[in-house]
Structure 1
Amino acid sequence: MGHRDEGGTGVGDAGAAGASARLQKLFEGHRLTPTQRRIAHCMVRRAADAPFLSSVELAELAGVSQPSVTRFAVALGFDGYPALRKHLREVAPPERAEGAEAYTEYQQAVQAEIENLRHLAAALADPGPVERAGRILAASRPLPVLGLRAASAQARGFAYFAAKVHPDVRLLDEGGTMLADRIDAARRAGATALLCFALPRHPREVVDALGHARDAGLNVVTVADSAFAPVAALSDVLLPAAVGTGLAFDTACAPMMLGRVLLESMCDALPDAQSRLEDFDAQATARGLFVE
């Protein structure tokens, strides 16, 4: 599998130079198109990150399309980009700073997630999209929150906390023929927006559900793994946060964090959010709800 993002992985200058040399050697002897040479140049320039970049991320960094990255990998003799990335990890495993021993596979996955979070932090330097999304969600009564399969945990976590400050949150974490009915019911009850968490692999039901929501007149806010996700065209506000792919199953630390940031933005747009939280705390104390 593989991973992720911008920023270093703790490789020192000597390690980075060695990684660049190995990449240049890999590209030698291949007839590359101008676009492919652009990708190769980007990978050499970002040699420390190359084993962790997804095809989408590499395409963004190089300023090319994602299919161009796939064709580039094939031109080098690999079955596809995942095979190229696997090869890079095998021949040039990331090293600790100052030449210490290589990271373990588990450490690589954690380091990749740290880089995902750093990338998210950089994106949040412009708070405009999240603030706009928060206002859209705060104004919707009720507020349906959609997340199926891999994204169901993200949707459920958001809905759990959102219900403490929002008067009517409706979790949609099961697909099937009733999903469209539940979206229609929310719309009839006054909903003006729908929040969706969309993570790979993207279920067709989610794409269909967002199309239905748009047709019903709902504004769609989506937290997705990439700006190129299949749900992008169906989202009025798309908030991307990359997933980790270094383990057998994807990790979603950055999407979870983005969900909490979005929740904070929604709270800022709800004038009675603080009073609702205080009421909950008072009731929880009276009921002895928590052991602290």
Structure 2
Amino acid sequence: MVTGGDAAARDAAGGASARLLKLFEAHRLTPTQRRIAHCLVRKAAQAPYLSSVEVAELAGVSQPSVTRFAVALGFDGYPALRRHLREVAPAPAEPETAAYNEYQQAVHAEIENLRHLAELLGDTGPATRAGAVLAASRPLPVLGLRAAGAQARGFAYFAAKVHPDVRLLDEGGTMLADRLDAAVRAGAAALLCFALPRHPREVVDALAHARAAGLTVVTVADSAFAPVAAHTDLLLPAAVGTGLAFDTACAPMLLGRVLLESMCDALPDAQARLEEFDARAAARGVFTE
């Protein structure tokens, strides 16, 4: 279990994460460099104080790769990048914030993630484009494995009320590619993927297969530099909380609901389908209210 001090640092890191994302997104990065960027965004509070060797160990890359990453961003080397990271580091927590217990800190960290998501949604373009792409796909496969399974199931449950053919893909294995191929044969044009840490290798493989099959891939991920980014046409980031033993995913869940809203806006018969569902549910006595 993490300490209150660790959680306080994470709670204050949201603003720094946003600034790091803007810095990294302005450059074309190799897959290895995107892995380093993903690590730094997730460790925004600690990043300004890590050595290049420590960053390499956390990201699972070589120390020279970290140096090349800094140069690719326009810095003379990693020390110059670290000085820049210290300039954008979050301010120390206020005494009353630091006094919160670890459970309260986890909640405040999620609130900061939601604030960051709200800032990103100030530009409605990506969500609007994603909604239109998803609405036009018949059928619409929705992928989410392991930690992301709950997000995919929640989206698919509500989407099925307004979309004529939603296909949930929440189990991995050798049949996953078969189910993607079947969706393509049935006319699917797009795939929605929820990808959260730790990222299963088979999700990356599935997205590569989907794109090779001609699907447009829309992904909700914890970072624009998640491993799935290389196989995604439109990636919408929403950070996860890391203050508890297991990650929390309030922001990805909310972003999924935003995509549902955007998809409804692009489906001319969405309201009629909802009213039809409500009428059937009432006739069957599905709900107690």
Query: Same fold by TM-score, threshold 0.5 exceeded?
Result: yes
Distance in 2 between the 1:255 and 1:249 partners? Answer: 15
Of residues 67, 70, 73, the one that matches 2:50 is 73
Deviation for aligned residue 1:53: 2.8
Q: Which residue of 2 aligns with 1:270?
A: 267
Seen in structure 2, the aligned counterparts of structure 1 residues 57 and 177 have a Cα distance that, compared at 3 Å, is: same
Distance in 2 between the 1:62 and 1:106 partners? Answer: 30
Seen in structure 2, the aligned counterparts of structure 1 residues 108 and 157 have a Cα distance that, compared at 3 Å, is: same
Distance in 2 between the 1:62 and 1:160 partners? Answer: 34
After TM superposition, list the pairs within 5 Å mapping 1:114-129 onto structure 2: 114-129=111-126
Seen in structure 2, the aligned counterparts of structure 1 residues 223 and 79 have a Cα distance that, compared at 3 Å, is: closer
Unaligned runs of 5+ in 2: 25-35, 41-45, 60-91
Q: Which residue of 2 aligns with 1:251?
A: 248
Q: Which residue of 2 aligns with 1:32?
A: none
Q: Would the aligned equivalents of 2:9 and 2:93 in 1 still touch at CA under 8 Å?
A: no
Say yes or no: does 1:203 pair with 2:200: yes
Q: Which residue of 2 aligns with 1:9?
A: none
Q: Which residue of 1 aligns with 2:288?
A: 291
Q: Which residue of 1 aligns with 2:146?
A: 149
Q: TM-score scaled to structure 1, two decimals?
A: 0.73
Distance in 2 between the 1:81 and 1:102 partners? Answer: 29
Q: SS at 1:197's partner residue?
A: strand
Deviation for aligned residue 1:233: 1.4
Seen in structure 2, the aligned counterparts of structure 1 residues 207 and 286 have a Cα distance that, compared at 3 Å, is: same
Distance in 2 between the 1:110 and 1:73 partners? Answer: 26
Say yes or no: does 1:60 pair with 2:20: yes
Q: Which residue of 2 aligns with 1:96?
A: 96
Distance in 2 between the 1:217 and 1:239 partners? Answer: 20
Deviation for aligned residue 1:52: 4.4
Unaligned runs of 5+ in 1: 4-18, 20-47, 83-91
Q: Would the aligned equivalents of 2:130 and 2:234 in 1 still touch at CA under 8 Å?
A: yes
Distance in 1 between the 2:53 and 2:99 partners? Answer: 26
Amino acid at match of 2:50: A
Amino acid at match of 1:161: F
Amino acid at match of 2:247: D
Q: Would the aligned equivalents of 2:162 and 2:271 in 1 still touch at CA under 8 Å?
A: yes
Seen in structure 2, the aligned counterparts of structure 1 residues 78 and 285 have a Cα distance that, compared at 3 Å, is: closer
Seen in structure 2, the aligned counterparts of structure 1 residues 184 and 74 have a Cα distance that, compared at 3 Å, is: same
Distance in 1 between the 2:113 and 2:271 partners? Answer: 31
Q: Which residue of 2 aligns with 1:232?
A: 229
Structure of higher CA gyration radius: 1
Amino acid at match of 2:178: D
Distance in 1 between the 2:96 and 2:164 partners? Answer: 49
Q: Would the aligned equivalents of 1:180 and 1:209 in 2 still touch at CA under 8 Å?
A: yes
CA deviations over 1:177-205 (Å, ceiling 9, x no partner): 00000000000000000000000000000
Q: Which residue of 2 aligns with 1:44?
A: none
Q: TM-score scaled to structure 2, two decimals?
A: 0.74
Amino acid at match of 1:247: L
Distance in 2 between the 1:190 and 1:78 partners? Answer: 44
Seen in structure 2, the aligned counterparts of structure 1 residues 77 and 161 have a Cα distance that, compared at 3 Å, is: closer
Q: RMSD in angstroms over aligned alpha carbons?
A: 3.1
Q: Would the aligned equivalents of 1:184 and 1:216 in 2 still touch at CA under 8 Å?
A: yes
Seen in structure 2, the aligned counterparts of structure 1 residues 71 and 261 have a Cα distance that, compared at 3 Å, is: closer
Amino acid at match of 1:266: M
Matched residues, percent identical? Answer: 71
Q: Which residue of 1 aligns with 2:171?
A: 174
CA deviations over 1:238-263 (Å, ceiling 9, x no partner): 00000000000000000000000000
After TM superposition, list the pairs within 5 Å mapping 1:185-224 onto structure 2: 185-224=182-221
Amino acid at match of 2:95: E
